[in-house]
Chains A and B, each alone.
Chain A
Amino acid sequence: GAGVSQSPSNKVTEKGKDVELRCDPISGHTALYWYRQSLGQGLEFLIYFQGNSAPDKSGLPSDRFSAERTGGSVSTLTIQRTQQEDSAVYLCASSRPGSNEKLFFGSGTQLSVL
């Protein structure tokens, strides 16, 4: 596709359920980022991938959060045993090889935990 694609665009789940969010970066982009944005707030860094490896996982809020990337392309962010405070927009971005100078963002997944 032409841009970063995220799915689903909206997800409503019950507290305690697991959810999986997907990000399909721009073809050829080796760096991939996940951010979380609560209503009216800034972007909270979660994790980034360089290829399939994640050099920095320090932003993941708890061990209920995990992320993986396979084939240097699609990434999934998994939240286990969701809590109400997990409700937010989860944004994914990618950038070209060797460049962190311009991130291309997807439209995000709005997660609502009831």
Chain B
Amino acid sequence: SQQGEEDPQALSIQEGENATMNCSYKTSINNLQWYRQNSGRGLVHLILIRSNEREKHSGRLRVTLDTSKKSSSLLITASRAADTASYFCATDVRRDKIIFGKGTRLHILP
């Protein structure tokens, strides 16, 4: 079963613009993570935000978490062609069980 649902399913923006992706989840969590996947193979961890945090930054990434709404957003600022990938949120439905959403496919246009 899916815990997280990303929105939108697909997003195309011009290089240099900001990209925002959202994730909604169903159960209580300890933390929420965002991953990137290139070319349909292995995922790479981007950033983690804990349930007692509201916002976190890492380079051009900004993540927010609203536990009352059970939602998170990932903002990529000043997008680059190399940011073209699929982005997934992941939540710990219970200790050590990590469930991923369906992902957002991001395409950066030159």
Contact = CB atoms under 8 A, between A and B. Distances in A.
Interface of A: 4, 31, 33, 35, 37, 39, 41-43, 45, 48, 50, 55-56, 89, 91, 93, 100-108
B33 A91 contact: no
Given A42-B100, A50-B96, A105-B42, 6 more contacts: A37-B40, A42-B102, A48-B98, A100-B92, A102-B33, A103-B90
Q: How large is the interface on B (under 10, 10 to 19, 20 to 34, 35 or more residues)?
A: 20 to 34
Interface stretch (B13-21, B43-51, B52-60, B67-75): B43-51
Task: From B90, B92, B95, B96, name the one whose CB has the most chain A CB atoms within 10 angstroms.
Answer: B96
Interface of B: 2, 31, 33, 35, 40-45, 48, 88, 90, 92, 95-103
A102 B45 contact: yes
Contacts of B103: 42
